[in-house]
Amino acid sequence: MIKKLARSIREYKKASILAPIFVSAEVVIECFIPLVTAQLVRNIQNQCDILTIVKYGLILIALALASLSCGALSGNFAAVAACGFSKNLRHDMYSKIQGYSFANMDKFSTPGLVTRLTTDVSYVQMAYMMIIRTAVRCPLMLMFALTMAIVTSPKMSVAFAVIIPVLAVGLALIIKKAFPIFKKVFKKYDKLNESVQENVSGMRVVKSFVREDYEKKKFAKASDEVCQDFTRAEKILALNSPLMQFCFNVLMLLVCFFGSQLIITSSGADLDIAGFSTLLTYGAQILMSLMMLSMIIVMITMSLESANRIVEVLDEESSIKNPENPINEIADGSIVFDNVSFSYSEKAERQSLADINLTIASGETVGIIGGTGSGKTSLVQLIPRLYDVGQGSVKVGGVDVRDYDIETLRNQVAMVLQKNVLFSGTIKENLRWGNENATDEEMERICRLAQADEFIKTFPYGYDTNITQGGTNVSGGQKQRLCIARALLKKPKILILDDSTSAVDTKTDAIIRKAFAEEIPDTTKIIIAQRVSSVEHADKIIVLDGGKIESMGTHEELLCISPIYRGIYESQTKGAESDED
Amino acid sequence: MKTNVKAKAHLNENNNTASGTKAAPPIGVIFRILKLLFKEYKVQMIFVTACIVVVSLASTIAGLFMEQYILLINDGLQLGLDAVYIRLITLVTTMLCIYATGWLASFIYTRVMAVVTQSFLNSMRKKMFLKMQDFPIRYFDTNAHGDIMSHYTNDIDTVRELVSVTLPHLIQAALIVCSLIFNMLYLSAWMALVVALASVAMVMAAKGIGGKSAGNFIRMQRSIAKEEGFVEEMMNGQKVVKVFCYEEKSVEKFDKINDELCHDATNANRFANILMPIMGNIGNILYVLVAFVGGIIVVSEGIPNVSLGGIEYMSTIQKIAVVVPFLNISKQFTNNVSQVSQQINSVVMAMAGAKRVFELLDTEPEKDEGYVVLVNATRENGEIVETAERTGLWAWKHQHGDGSITYTELRGEVTIEHMDFGYVPEKQVLSDITLYAKPGQKVAFVGATGAGKTTITNLINRFYDIDDGKIRYDGININKIKKADLRRSLGVVLQDTNLFTGTVMDNIRYGKLDATDEECIAAAKLANADDFITRLPEGYNTMLTANGTNLSQGQRQLLSIARAAVADPPVMILDEATSSIDTRTEALVQKGMDGLMKGRTVFVIAHRLSTVKNSDVIMVLENGRIIERGTHDKLIEEKGKYYQLYTGKFELE
């Protein structure tokens, strides 16, 4: 895992190395400061002249400045390295996700991916900054300060040998007890917030059913539970600060008690008053480092889960890959389904599509109709290879879609998705998704074809009108027509409309279909619709039911042979017919 | 979402000024938190404060003993260990006692504080949520949901940081600093002066760097929000990206935003990182200065020591016994000052967070002046009598000013007279709407997006209040009806189905909390949902997560119809309730619903005309006015707008 993440350091390797180097230098200098200080105090005690004080003072100031610069530099490099690393990590994840197939996307939920790209990366960034700075600083500080303390007074360092294990064991126990509770309670806390989210977005339902009190009780219960667990964990964690104080004070007392005896008995040879305060300074440094170290361990362990989630994204291999010798030319818009079966997951009990055999000639118009969940969308998604078939094969232009270069295939098979999205930006920018180099004239021509030109021109800024995120400032029908225009700009050999005119009125719908027939006669058109009127003039209508082709034929034929088709037709026209009578 | 967005568009126009002004968070919110803490946890907080005082004193007083201690060593060096041994033991024991008091106080206060913090946060959370449940719909329509959510996540987190870490730290550090100042003055005013000057420098440095850091953090937050927004939009449209082979372009765009974020984040972290070494080393330099001044005092004859104890001329040993502990104290002092300065960031952030939390808590809840309530009733000798059990017969209980009570049978008659409404005063959405829905009638609204269909239903159940005109329900002005009872009598199924985490059964039961399993299943059958539910892996016990994403939109709509059906309301509003259900299933659902709603009033909104065709009366709305009304046949005959719509000559939505 670490190896995988480390790959994203790249150009920030230099900063990543410099940060620990400077921090090490800072530690060394910092450890010398108490030593020089002791010398200074000693000189003062010995009533030296002012000059000596000035000399030591200047040395100390120089050391302080050096430590300051090293500290500042390491801080700087650590920030550069960690933020750069996280930038690269985000870039790598984002690029990886761009290569995902639909099946990969289904595996991770959209909010899941967003969290991984944002929250998880920022946790890892924090952990990384700690690793190259604090995690270097603390153990080093611990070792240096300990060495210095031993050098200052070997006899007194026994006191450290007593206190350090006490603190270490104490901290370890606290972590061991509190950490699992925290892990659990954080999950509960997330759930609590999710339920708030649910409540906020479902507020109309809550109020309509007058369920405010019910929701209040539900929330209070969950919140109390979270509070209880948090309190339990925090209470354990609260031991940290008294423990630390205890250790430091005991150390101080030990040094005071035994140190003074040592000073007196050795007449200041083994230890003197100056050395005595030096010892205390080192003691503080040692214990502080231990404390920090325990915090680092907790933080890094916590970020491991985030790191894991990131690696999951980086590790996921696209289930759809370009073939080795891809074909870059598509002969025509003919489509053949040869004994195709398909399911979204291997575990699924029921196949989404089974035994599909289908031949569509280039330039034909094909309608697909069927109830919710009958497999209409699944069927057409196999043509631009958004999913791969389970069994059998799908051929476009006589060649298995798996043999084409994916980009070539998808540029020739334009699909207007059912759950379609416009992006924030101008209408022009959105249309250019279909063809980057489209001229204004071309866009207008295509929009006229999709019956979008007229309403675009009524906007104050015309084609430069800004679309808000999710396309909320155009109506459903307008959005659908923009999406069709965007797909048409690709000049595809096959055009698939997945319920793409449901919000367009029947008359406009008919005009669009007529325009298709006249303007792009050679393009194969596949139209999925709920409305019979959208497909009734197609060359061929496929009725899907439960993932199988129930029947196939023209409108008239189906009215005779397909009870499902007849049912759909009647449910949509019954009233109208009686009116006309 | 549709309705929300719409209302938002209306309301945002003059809401901008309110949310747009971002004044610096006043320090007042900190005091408000303190006030709340001391009010709700009076005993604990007084106790905690006392403990903090003890801890601070314990950690500073002990420093004063160092003076005695050095004198003791000097005496020991001259007189031998035995002569001072008793003094040493007394000294160490005294220090131990003082420290032990400190440990005990620290142990107690951190524990109590842990409990207080969590319980305080819990009460804040609950207060926010409880308060929020009573906010008018307008609040949810005008505030982005992500923004509301951040009250519960980011803002509460900053408050937690403030209460559990920053406040005790600040209080403790401030107390320590105060007592250290006292200590220093007690030892030597000369050196204290040096420390005072240096600490001014430290505070300036902290303010300078800390201020820069805080500014950069705010910029970084903005960049993060921007990146999150982009990622969210692109992830939602990822399938479109694939279909258009737009991957490379999308990476390019992302990189640009990503680089910006990296730049801001680096700056923010840089300043935060270098604050510590700078503060620490200013402390070191201060130490040198103090040592220098101390050295001069020790070395030069004739400089009197000025302290709180007065002016005295000391021996060299006495001077040393002053200077050495002073050096330690100055170190302790700078450590504490730098600790305080490092809390500046979190104080600033907590102030902003707390301010938002209080804003939410201070928001006005939905007002309800209604006094007419809905009760179960039976008919005795032709008179309506109130009963406790559910009888299928409801009545409005009307309490008059003179104390008399009258009962009106709930029949589901809704009349609207000359109603005007606008989400904002400048823009009228509905004008002069008049309609009569007789009990048992099915009333349909048809019209383009923005014509005001959904708005009418928002007004009937009083999500919003009308500007002019009257809405009467069974002859009672709905302003007089208690909102909860009004809404209980209206079943609403919205296009945006909101399901809740829980089983399918739980979700259906949401309509009537005491419904039996059989009732729920019957409702599901009625809504034609039983078929797909039984095919789910665990049938009615299947867990639905994250707004039921494991169901298709059509299935979710069926579930929400079942949920409304189990509530069995006298009046039903179906707002695009079947828009994602195929026409064949819709016909089946309608049959079931028609059976349920026999004799009750139903309002239907749909853009699919086959849905509304068999209504008793169809209202065609345009620009907030009813332009045509009548049955399907009548409207077709009139050959007006409806006719055009029906024959496909005009576009809806």
| B580 vs A contacts (CB less than 8 Å) | 372
Which residue in chain B has the smallest CA separation from A502?
A: B608
Helix spans in B549-618 (H):
553-567, 583-596, 609-612
- Would the CB atoms of B328 and A503 count as touching at under 8 Å? no
- Would the CB atoms of A231 and B284 count as touching at under 8 Å? no
What's the pLDDT band for B651 if we cut at 50, 70, 90? very low
Contacts of B603 (CB under 8 A, 6+ apart): B414, B437, B443, B444, B445, B456, B457, B460, B571, B572, B573, B574
CATH of region B414-646: 3.40.50.300
pLDDT, average across residues A526-555: 89
pLDDT(B488) > 70? yes
pLDDT, average across residues B424-448: 85
pLDDT(B254) > 90? yes
Name which of A393-407, A560-574, B262-276 the model is least confident about. Answer: A560-574
Tell which of B8, B121, B129 to mutate to test the A interface (max A CBs under 10 Å): B129
Tell which of B157, B266, B360, B367 to mutate to test the A interface (max A CBs under 10 Å): B266
* Dihedral over alpha carbons A132, A134, A139, A145 (to 10 degrees): 130
What's the pLDDT band for A435 if we cut at 50, 70, 90? confident
Which residue in chain A has the smallest CA separation from B83?
A: A264
- Would the CB atoms of A421 and B328 count as touching at under 8 Å? no
Token pair in block for residue A576:
């109208």
| B130 vs A contacts (CB less than 8 Å) | 216, 219-220
Residue ranges per domain, chain B?
2-361, 373-409, 414-646
Predicted local confidence at residue A209, as pLDDT: 85
**Distance (Å) from the alpha carbon of A391 to chain B's nearest alpha carbon:** 23
Residue predicted with more confidence, B599 or A552: A552
pLDDT, average across residues B266-283: 85
Predicted local confidence at residue B550, as pLDDT: 67
pLDDT, average across residues B134-144: 85
pLDDT, average across residues A360-384: 88
* Number of A–B residue contacts, CB under 8 Å: 434
Query: To which H or E segment does residue B437 belong?
Result: strand B430-437
Which residue in chain B has the smallest CA separation from A349?
A: B537
Predicted local confidence at residue B455, as pLDDT: 85
**Which DSSP category does A413 fall into?**
E
Nearest by CB to B581, from A200, A372, A472: name it.
Answer: A372
Name which of A132-136, A188-192, B257-261 the model is least confident about. Answer: A188-192
The conformational region for residue B456 under phi > 0 = left, psi -120 to 50 = alpha, else beta, is: alpha
- Would the CB atoms of B269 and A280 count as touching at under 8 Å? no
Q: Residue B101 and residue B93: Cα distance in Å, rounded?
A: 12
pLDDT(B72) > 50? yes
Predicted local confidence at residue A35, as pLDDT: 84
Predicted local confidence at residue A574, as pLDDT: 56
ipTM of the complex: 0.84
- Would the CB atoms of B110 and A200 count as touching at under 8 Å? no
Q: Please, are residues A345 and A368 in contact by the beta-carbon 8 Å criterion?
A: no
What's the pLDDT band for B104 if we cut at 50, 70, 90? very high
Domains assigned to chain A: 1-145+301-317 (1.20.1560.10), 154-270 (1.20.1560.10), 335-417+494-580 (3.40.50.300)
Name which of A365-369, A531-535, B105-109 the model is least confident about. Answer: A531-535
Predicted local confidence at residue A77, as pLDDT: 95
Which residue in chain A has the smallest CA separation from B75?
A: A264
| A263 vs B contacts (CB less than 8 Å) | 73, 76-77
pLDDT, average across residues B301-309: 74
| A37 vs B contacts (CB less than 8 Å) | 287, 291, 327
Predicted local confidence at residue B220, as pLDDT: 83
Give the closest residue to B182 by CA, choosing from B203, B196, B169.
Answer: B196
| A230 vs B contacts (CB less than 8 Å) | 118, 121
Which residue in chain A has the smallest CA separation from B136?
A: A207
**Distance (Å) from the alpha carbon of A506 to chain B's nearest alpha carbon:** 5
Helix spans in B1-136 (H):
2-20, 28-40, 42-79, 81-133
Which residue in chain A has the smallest CA separation from B607?
A: A503
For B576-636, strand residue ranges (E) read: 601-605, 617-622, 625-630
Which residue in chain A has the smallest CA separation from B532?
A: A373
Q: Residue B255 and residue B246: Cα distance in Å, rounded?
A: 14
Name which of A172-181, B30-39, B192-201 the model is least confident about. Answer: B192-201
**What is the overall mean pLDDT for chain A?**
87
* pTM, to two decimals: 0.79
Which residue is listed with tokens 């805080």?
Answer: B214
**What is the overall mean pLDDT for chain B?**
82
- Would the CB atoms of A504 and B651 count as touching at under 8 Å? yes
**Distance (Å) from the alpha carbon of B382 to chain A's nearest alpha carbon:** 31
- Would the CB atoms of A470 and B650 count as touching at under 8 Å? no
What's the pLDDT band for B548 if we cut at 50, 70, 90? low
- Measured at the CA of B457, the angle between CA B632 and CA B438, to 5 degrees, comes to 55
Provide φ and ψ at A342, rounded to 5°: -155, 140
| B132 vs A contacts (CB less than 8 Å) | 200
Nearest-Å Rg of the Cα atoms of chain B is: 37
- Would the CB atoms of A94 and B254 count as touching at under 8 Å? yes
Nearest by CB to B610, from A193, A274, A575: name it.
Answer: A575
Tens-digit pLDDT profile for residues B362-391:
988 888 888 898 888 888 887 888 888 777
Tens-digit pLDDT profile for residues A87-139:
999 999 999 999 888 888 878 877 788 888 988 898 899 899 999 998 999 99
- Measured at the CA of B90, the angle between CA B86 and CA B93, to 5 degrees, comes to 135
Predicted local confidence at residue B1, as pLDDT: 36
Name which of A99-113, A372-386, B553-567 the model is least confident about. Answer: A99-113
Predicted local confidence at residue B261, as pLDDT: 92
**Distance (Å) from the alpha carbon of A96 to chain B's nearest alpha carbon:** 10
Which residue in chain A has the smallest CA separation from B104?
A: A242
Q: Which amino acid is at B382?
A: G
**Distance (Å) from the alpha carbon of A255 to chain B's nearest alpha carbon:** 10
Tens-digit pLDDT profile for residues B174-228:
888 888 888 888 888 888 888 888 778 777 877 787 777 777 877 887 888 788 8
Predicted local confidence at residue A446, as pLDDT: 92
Long-range contacts of A62-66 (CB under 8 A, 24+ apart): A63/A29, A63/A32, A63/A33, A63/A36, A63/B284, A64/A33, A64/B281, A64/B284, A64/B285, A64/B288, A65/B281, A65/B285, A66/A25, A66/A29
Half-sphere CA count of B441, side-chain side, radius 13 A: 17
Token pair in block for residue B595:
């059976």
**Distance (Å) from the alpha carbon of B435 to chain A's nearest alpha carbon:** 22
Q: What percent of chain B has pLDDT over 90?
A: 15
Q: Which CATH architecture has domain B2-361?
A: Up-down Bundle (1.20)
Tens-digit pLDDT profile for residues A325-340:
899 998 899 999 999 9
What's the pLDDT band for A169 if we cut at 50, 70, 90? very high
- Would the CB atoms of B129 and A90 count as touching at under 8 Å? no
Highest mean pLDDT among A372-386, A396-410, B222-236, B521-535: A396-410
Predicted local confidence at residue B16, as pLDDT: 35
What's the pLDDT band for B97 if we cut at 50, 70, 90? very high
Predicted local confidence at residue A581, as pLDDT: 30
Q: Residue B556 and residue B504: Cα distance in Å, rounded?
A: 10
pLDDT, average across residues B549-553: 71
Half-sphere CA count of B570, side-chain side, radius 13 A: 26
Burial class (CB in 10 A: 0-12, 13-18, 19+), B330: buried
The conformational region for residue A499 under phi > 0 = left, psi -120 to 50 = alpha, else beta, is: left
| B560 vs A contacts (CB less than 8 Å) | 205
Nearest by CB to A197, from B149, B295, B633: name it.
Answer: B149
Q: Please, are residues B11 and B423 in contact by the beta-carbon 8 Å criterion?
A: yes
Predicted local confidence at residue B18, as pLDDT: 35
Q: What is the DSSP string of B500-521?
A: -SEEHHHHHHTTSTT--HHHHH
**Integer CA distances (angstroms), A148 to A66, A261, B312, in order:** 19, 21, 38
Centroid of chain to Cα B548: 23
- Would the CB atoms of A84 and B273 count as touching at under 8 Å? no
pLDDT(B496) > 70? yes
Burial class (CB in 10 A: 0-12, 13-18, 19+), B556: buried
Length of chain A, please? 581
| A105 vs B contacts (CB less than 8 Å) | 238-239
pLDDT, average across residues A69-85: 94
Predicted local confidence at residue A88, as pLDDT: 95
**Distance (Å) from the alpha carbon of B537 to chain A's nearest alpha carbon:** 10
What's the pLDDT band for B320 if we cut at 50, 70, 90? confident
- Measured at the CA of A548, the angle between CA A542 and CA A550, to 5 degrees, comes to 50
What's the pLDDT band for B121 if we cut at 50, 70, 90? very high
Q: What percent of chain B has pLDDT over 70?
A: 94
